[in-house]
């Protein structure tokens, strides 16, 4: 029986790992054992941070909206509640972009939300 020679497949696997480790520093970019560990860990970080990215951006949008509505004498939570009472369904990403790029449109939304709030007696 002929012996199995695995040099080609091993080399291909190593090359794939080392290509993924491009840009790493030190031995992590050119030694297969350390590169494999580093690439595996980097994949775990990438998977985790694809989820965290969504949280981070939502927090950013909320901060921007809060800063924008404070100019109109409201807080973020009061504004979001007023939007719900007014029946306005605009997501936070769009509100954030409007606050930055279309202040007139954002002011119109804030005015609509203010008018929908119940008057305090």
Q: Is the pLDDT at 94 greater than 80, yes or no?
A: yes
C-beta of residue 99 within 8 angstroms of C-beta of residue 106: yes
What is the rounded CA–CA span in Å between residue 77 and residue 97? 18
Distance CA 61, CA 58 (A): 5
- Structural contact between residues 80 and 91, judged by C-beta atoms closer than 8 angstroms: no
* pLDDT: which is higher, 3 or 96: 96
pLDDT of residue 1: 80
Architecture of domain 7-116: Orthogonal Bundle (1.10)
Q: Domain coordinates of the chain in residue numbers?
A: 7-116
- Tens digit of each residue's pLDDT (9 = 90 or more) over 2-56: 888 889 999 999 999 999 999 999 999 999 999 999 999 999 999 999 999 999 9
Of the candidates 96, 56, 101, the residue with the CA atom closest to the CA atom of residue 76: 96
């Amino acid at each position: 029986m002929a012996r199995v020679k695995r040099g080609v497949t091993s080399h291909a696997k190593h090359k794939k790992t080392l290509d993924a480790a491009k840009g790493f520093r030190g031995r992590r970019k050119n030694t297969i054992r350390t590169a494999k560990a580093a690439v595996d860990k980097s994949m775990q970080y990438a998977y985790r941070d694809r989820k965290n990215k969504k949280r981070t951006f939502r927090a950013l949008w909320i901060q921007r909206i809060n800063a924008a509505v404070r100019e109109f004498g409201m807080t973020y939570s009061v504004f979001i509640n007023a939007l719900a009472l007014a029946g306005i369904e605009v997501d936070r990403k769009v509100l954030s972009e409007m606050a930055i790029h279309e202040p007139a449109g954002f002011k119109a939304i804030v005015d609509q939300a203010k008018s929908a709030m119940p008057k305090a007696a």
